[in-house]
Amino acid sequence: MRNLGIFIRKYSAFFLFLIFEVFSLVIYVKYNSFQKATFINSANQVTGAWYTRTNDFYTYLSLKETNDSLARENVRLRNQLKSSFYVDTVDKHKVKDTVYKQQYEYLVAKVINNSTNNSNNYLTINIGSKQGIAKGMGVICSQGIVGKVVYVSDHFSVVQSLLHKDSQFSAMLATNKEIGYVEWGDDMDPHKGVMKDVSNNALPKLGEWVVTSGYSLFPEGIPIGKVSNLRTRTGGYSLNMEITFAVDFGKLQFVDVVNNKFANEQADLEAQRKKNE
C-alpha cells in the first residue's frame, strides 16, 4: 500500500490530466450533434469488427461439430433417395400393387487414416462391426465412389480404395447406359482411371459422366468420373476410356458406407447357379 501511495503521488498530475481530458471529451461529444454522430458511427464500426472476429473465431472452433452434423444429414437424405429403394411391383388383373422396400442403407463414418501415393491404397474409418459394417460393403462420399470394405474389427474398418490395382467396379456411361468397368490407371495418377470393355458402338463424348451401373456394390447413378480421353483397345472390339475421378482422394474426411440389404440374397442365388453349371 505504501508503494501504491508513492506511485499515485508521483504521477498525480498525469492522472488528473487524464481525468480532465476524458471529462472534456465526454462534454464535447455529448453536446455537439456532429461529433456525437461521428463517435457513435466509429464506435459501431469498431464494435462490429470485434463481433465479426469473435464470431469467426467461435465458428472455427465449431467446425468439427458442423462437419459431423452435415455428414449425418447427408446420410439421412441418402437413405430417403428413390435409388435407395427396391420397387416390388406386381400386376394383378390390371391392378398395380407397388411396394417400396429399402434396398440401400447408408452409415456415416470419419476417415482416420488414408493413403494415395502407393500402388495399393487403403483408408481406415472409425466404425466397425458393432455399428453394422461388414466386409464387402461399398463406400462412397458426397462426390462419388471411394472403394469397398475389406477388413472389419469391432470399432474400425479398412477400405480398399479405388486407387488399388485390384479394384474394379461396374460402371456405365450416363448418357446411353453402355456398360463397362472402371479401374485405376497404369500411371498411378490419383486423379485418373480407365473405363474398359465398353461397346464399340457406344460413341462416348469427352466430358461425359461415368456412373455406377447398379450391378455391383452401389446403387445406380453414383458418380465415378468424367471421360477425359478416348482410345481403342487392341483389336477394336471395345473401347477403353481415360476418366478423371470425381473424388479427390487426398481430401477425404467423411464417407458413407453402403449396406445393400439384398446383397446376400443375390450372392447366394448366383452361387447356386454357378454350382449347378
Residue 269 has pLDDT above 80, yes or no: no
Per 3-state DSSP, the chain is made up of helix, strand and coil in percentages (nearest 5) of 35, 35, 30
- Return the residue matching grid coordinates 483397345: 233
pLDDT value for 18: 74
Distance CA 100, CA 82 (A): 9
Decide: residue 256, CB within 10 A, 0-12 exposed, 13-18 middle, 19+ buried: buried
Asked if the structure places residue 269 within a domain, the reply is yes
Distance CA 257, CA 267 (A): 19
**Same domain for 262 and 197:** yes
Q: CA neighbours within 13 Å on the CB side: how many for 27?
A: 6
- Look up the domain containing 114 and give its range: 106-276
Asked if the structure places residue 246 within a domain, the reply is yes
Asked if the structure places residue 212 within a domain, the reply is yes
Asked if the structure places residue 84 within a domain, the reply is no
pLDDT value for 167: 94
Q: Across-strand partners of 100? A: 87
Helix (H, G, I), strand (E, B) or coil at 162: strand
**Same domain for 110 and 41:** no
**Same domain for 46 and 129:** no
The answer to whether the CB of 104 falls within 8 A of the CB of 259 is: yes
**Same domain for 181 and 112:** yes
**Same domain for 128 and 6:** no
Asked if the structure places residue 101 within a domain, the reply is no
pTM beyond 0.75: the answer is: no
Residues 146-170 have pLDDT tens digits of 999 999 999 999 999 999 999 999 9
Residues 94-109 have pLDDT tens digits of 443 344 566 788 888 8
**Same domain for 145 and 35:** no
Q: What does the H/E/C string look like for 195-233?
A: EEEEECCCCCCCCCEEEECCCCCCCCCCEEEEEEEEEEC
The answer to whether the CB of 221 falls within 8 A of the CB of 211 is: yes
- In this structure, what C-alpha cell is assigned to residue 172? 456405365
Q: Which amino acid is at 175?
A: T
- Strands 179-184 and 192-199 come out as antiparallel
Nearest Cα neighbor of 112 from 150, 163, 155, 72 is: 155
Residues 114-123 have pLDDT tens digits of 999 998 999 9
Asked if the structure places residue 86 within a domain, the reply is no
- In this structure, what C-alpha cell is assigned to residue 151? 477388413
Residues 21-77 have pLDDT tens digits of 777 776 766 666 665 556 555 654 555 455 456 655 655 555 666 566 566 666 666
Q: What is the CATH number of the domain that holds 167?
A: 2.40.10.350
Residue 87 has pLDDT above 70, yes or no: no
Helix (H, G, I), strand (E, B) or coil at 276: helix
Decide: residue 20, CB within 10 A, 0-12 exposed, 13-18 middle, 19+ buried: exposed
**Same domain for 256 and 181:** yes
**Same domain for 53 and 111:** no
**Same domain for 208 and 112:** yes
**Same domain for 135 and 21:** no
Asked if the structure places residue 68 within a domain, the reply is no
Task: Give how many domains the chain has, as a whole number.
Answer: 2
202 DSSP 8-state letter: -
State whether the Cα torsion 165-168-174-177 is positive or negative: positive
- Provide the percentage of residues in the chain whose pLDDT is more than 90: 32
**Same domain for 144 and 56:** no
**Same domain for 123 and 15:** no
Distance CA 105, CA 3 (A): 74
